[in-house]
Amino acid sequence: MNLKLRPRRLRLTENMRAMVRETQLTVKDFVYPIFVVPGSNVRDEIKSMPDCYHLSVDRVVEIAKQIAALGIPSVEVFGLPEYKDEIGSSAWDMNSPVQRAITAIKREVPELIIVGDVCLCQYTSHGHCGCLVDHYVDNDRTLELLSKVAVSQAEAGADIIAPSDMMDGRIAAIRAALDARHFINVSIMSYAVKYASGFYGPFRDAADSAPQFGDRRQYQMDPANVREALKEVALDLDEGADIIMVKPAMAYLDVVSKVRAEIDRPVAVYNVSGEYAMVKAAAANGWIDERRIVMETLTCMKRAGADVIITYHALDAARWLKD
């Protein structure tokens, strides 16, 4: 037997493995999502998302400081409003928890990159991501509302606007609305490739955003499709998206890899609530090693081509990266 090449030679020690490692996960890859709620002095753990909290605006700055102290560059702000209506008007109310939280974080922790999630489902009484005509989400009318939300978040201090609604044409509409208000340096991170996924279950509990009837398959993508993903990406780039996101992450890394190969702008991936909940539940039962599984999955997201990883594991992963 003459084995000229023995791949095992380069796996002999940790130093050797580290030297030839192809992918380096770093804390700078992370965005940490938070949930802001009405009221004061609220810090309630979200049942289906252990170690994640509903925070009132007055408790948001302390977590923002913690995020920054760990070296995590960015926070994504989700919110629950004080009131809901047919068109989701609390989504662009400057007194809503999201806008107030963005302003507070910008004031107290200015170096943190603030991502504002733009959608209507947390704000509409029916829980759909746009306004309804009969039982149909009206695409073009929704664009006007999303543009108002984007402008209100930019006004509050958001650095990046991240529309997650999956209406057609929203990147162009939001870009035009931001530019008209002179927010030319506010970026858009498009949830360009967002699948209609069962993995959002815990988030919908956390954000009280489950649709009251039907589902989101008329606007979010069919999990069976990948050519369509590239079409969505091409449209959003053409409309002016600065960063392209694929969501969810774990079961969709083939999509991340294809998108990465196709485009020259940064790719983000969203490690969603259901993925997080599965890991936390199995770890709590002692069935898996949480730290090992988290670091492995986040590294694999980067290996697949993600430049940015939005993850509820960010605080833990940042600590583990320091050890």
Could you list the residues that contact ligand PBG (CB under 6 A)? 117, 119, 121, 129, 164, 200, 203-204, 272-273
Distance, in Å, from the CA atom of 145 to the CA atom of 248, rounded to the nearest integer, reads: 25
Residues near 202 by Cβ (< 8 Å), separated by ≥ 6?
A: 46, 48, 49, 273, 274, 276, 277
- Residue among 18 and 232 whose Cβ is closer to ligand PBG: 232
Closest approach, Cβ 17 to ligand PBG, in A, equals 32
Query: Is 194 a known active-site residue?
Result: yes
124 close to 134: Cβ distance less than 8 angstroms = no
Closest residue to ligand PBG, judged by C-beta, is 203
Point out the catalytic residue in the list 247, 258, 280, 302: 247
Strands, E, within the chain: which ranges?
30-37, 43-46, 49-56, 74-79, 113-118, 132-133, 136-137, 160-163, 187-194, 243-247, 267-271, 308-311
- Residue among 129 and 308 whose Cβ is closer to ligand PBG: 129
Burial (Cβ within 10 Å: 0-12, 13-18, ≥19) of residue 61 = middle
- Tell me, what amino acid is at 317? A
Closest approach, Cβ 277 to ligand PBG, in A, equals 9
- Residue among 218 and 262 whose Cβ is closer to ligand PBG: 218
CB atoms within 10 A of CB 260: 17
Closest CA to 291 of 269, 311, 273, 317: 317
Closest approach, Cβ 24 to ligand PBG, in A, equals 25
- Bridge partners of 200, per DSSP, are none
Place of tokens 């909940």: 277
- Residue among 68 and 206 whose Cβ is closer to ligand PBG: 206
Closest approach, Cβ 118 to ligand PBG, in A, equals 9
- Give the β-pairing of 113-118 and 132-133: unpaired
Point out the catalytic residue in the list 28, 65, 84, 194: 194
Closest CA to 126 of 47, 213, 186, 46: 213
Which tokens go with 159? 């650095």
Place of tokens 């909290």: 53
Query: Is 148 a known active-site residue?
Result: no
State the Rg of the chain over Cα. 20
- Residue among 121 and 189 whose Cβ is closer to ligand PBG: 121
- Residue among 100 and 128 whose Cβ is closer to ligand PBG: 128
- Residue among 153 and 273 whose Cβ is closer to ligand PBG: 273
Distance, in Å, from the CA atom of 311 to the CA atom of 116, rounded to the nearest integer, reads: 15
**Residues assigned a catalytic role:** 194, 247
